[in-house]
Chains A and B, each alone.
Chain A
Amino acid sequence: MKHNIYFLLLGALLLATACKEDFLQRDPGAPISKEDVFSDPLLAARFADNSYNFLIDDYGRISQAQRHKGTTGQFSDEAIGSGAADFLPYMTVMNQGNFLDPLATDVVEIYTRMYQGIRNVNVMLSKLESVPWDGSPSNPQLIKAEMLYLRGFFYFELAKRYGGVVLLDKALAAGENLDLPRSSFDETVEFILNDLQEAENLLDTQSAINYNNQRPKEWDDRQYGRPTIGAVRALRSRLLLLAASPLHNPGNDAGKWKQAADAARSIMDMGRYSLHNNYANLLNQGTPINEYILIKVRGPRPFNSGFMPDFIMPPSSGGAQGLLNPTQNHVDLYEMSNGRAITDPTSGYNPQNPYANRDPRFYANIIYNDMTWQNRKIQMWVGGTDYQPGSSSFTRTRYYCRKLWPEVYRGGSTATAILNFVFFRYGEVLLNYAEALNEAEGPVAGVYAAVNQIRTRAGMPNLPTGLSKEQMRARIHNERAVELAFEEHRWWDILRWKKGKEIVAPTIKAMDVVREGNRFIYNVVPMAAIYQRVFEDHMHLYPIPRAEVDKSRGVMVQNPGW
Chain B
Amino acid sequence: MQGISWLNYLKIRGSLGLIGYASVGRNRFLYLDEYSNGGGTPSFGGNISNINSRLFFGNPSSLNSNPSSQLQLSNPVVWHSKVGNPNVTWEKSIKRNIGIETAFFKDKLLINADLFDEKRYDILLPRDNSAPDIFGESLPFTNYGENYNKGYEIEATFRNTIGDFEYRLYAQLTHAVNEIVLTDEPVNLAPNLRRTGQSIDQYFGYQVIGFYQSLDDIAASPASKVSGPVIPGDFKYADINGDNVINDQDRVPIGYTDVPRNVFGIEPSISYKGIGLSALIQGVSKVSSNLIFDGNGRNQYYSRMLDRWTPENAVNANWPAMRPGSLGGNPSYNVNSFLLQDASYVRLRNIELSYQFPAAIMDKLKLGSLRLFVNGQNLLTWTKLIGLDPESNISRTYNRQFFSNPTYTYPVTKVYNFGLNVQF
A interface residues with partner B (beta carbon < 8 Å): 26, 28-34, 36-37, 43-44, 46-47, 49-50, 52-61, 67-68, 83, 85, 88-89, 92, 96, 98, 100-102, 111-113, 115-120, 122-123, 166, 168, 171-172, 174, 178-180, 219, 221-226, 285-288, 295-303, 305-308, 311, 390, 392, 416, 418, 420, 528-530, 545-554, 556
Once A221-B58, A530-B228 are accepted as A-B contacts, the answer to whether A101 and B247 lie under 8 Å apart by CB is: yes
B132 touches A53 (CB 8 A): no
Once A56-B48, A89-B328, A551-B187 are accepted as A-B contacts, the answer to whether A299 and B65 lie under 8 Å apart by CB is: yes
Shortest Cβ-Cβ A-B pairs, 9 listed: A307-B46, A119-B136, A286-B61, A306-B45, A299-B63, A28-B38, A550-B186, A67-B47, A68-B46
Q: Inside 8 A of B376's CB, which chain A residues have their CB?
A: none
Once A53-B55, A418-B60, A552-B188 are accepted as A-B contacts, the answer to whether A68 and B137 lie under 8 Å apart by CB is: no
Task: Give CA–CA (A33, B80) in the complex, Å.
Answer: 9
A420 touches B60 (CB 8 A): yes
A53 touches B53 (CB 8 A): yes
B248 touches A222 (CB 8 A): no
Task: Give CA–CA (A49, B190) in the complex, Å.
Answer: 40
A46 touches B135 (CB 8 A): no
- Least CB distance from A518 to B in Å reads 32
Selected contact of B59 from candidates A83, A288, A529, A553, CB within 8 Å: A288
- Least CB distance from B227 to A in Å reads 7
Once A101-B248, A120-B136, A306-B46 are accepted as A-B contacts, the answer to whether A34 and B35 lie under 8 Å apart by CB is: yes
Task: Give CA–CA (A226, B58) in the complex, Å.
Answer: 9
Selected contact of B36 from candidates A29, A171, A225, A529, CB within 8 Å: A29
- Least CB distance from A414 to B in Å reads 9
Question: Smallest CB-CB separation from A112: which chain B residue?
Answer: B133
B228 touches A178 (CB 8 A): no
Task: Give CA–CA (A245, B176) in the complex, Å.
Answer: 62
Q: Counting CB contacts under 8 A, is B159 at the interface? A: no
- Least CB distance from B124 to A in Å reads 14
Q: Counting CB contacts under 8 A, is B255 at the interface? A: no
Q: Counting CB contacts under 8 A, is B417 at the interface? A: no
Q: Counting CB contacts under 8 A, is B70 at the interface? A: yes
Selected contact of B137 from candidates A102, A116, A416, CB within 8 Å: A116
Selected contact of A119 from candidates B46, B52, B78, B135, CB within 8 Å: B135
Q: Inside 8 A of B265's CB, which chain A residues have their CB?
A: none
Task: Give CA–CA (A556, B132) in the complex, Å.
Answer: 10
Task: Give CA–CA (A180, B136) in the complex, Å.
Answer: 13
B135 touches A92 (CB 8 A): no
A298 touches B326 (CB 8 A): no
Give the residue among B33, B70, B137 with the most A Cβ atoms within 10 A.
B137
Q: Counting CB contacts under 8 A, is B325 at the interface? A: yes
A88 touches B78 (CB 8 A): no
Q: Counting CB contacts under 8 A, is B19 at the interface? A: no
- Least CB distance from B292 to A in Å reads 17
- Which residues 304-331 of B sit at the A interface, judged by CB distance below 8 A? 325-329
Give the residue among B45, B188, B189, B248 with the most A Cβ atoms within 10 A.
B45
B35 touches A36 (CB 8 A): yes
Question: Smallest CB-CB separation from A27: which chain B residue?
Answer: B37
Q: Inside 8 A of B65's CB, which chain A residues have their CB?
A: 299-303, 416
Q: Inside 8 A of A302's CB, which chain B residues have their CB?
A: 44-45, 65, 67
Q: Counting CB contacts under 8 A, is B16 at the interface? A: no
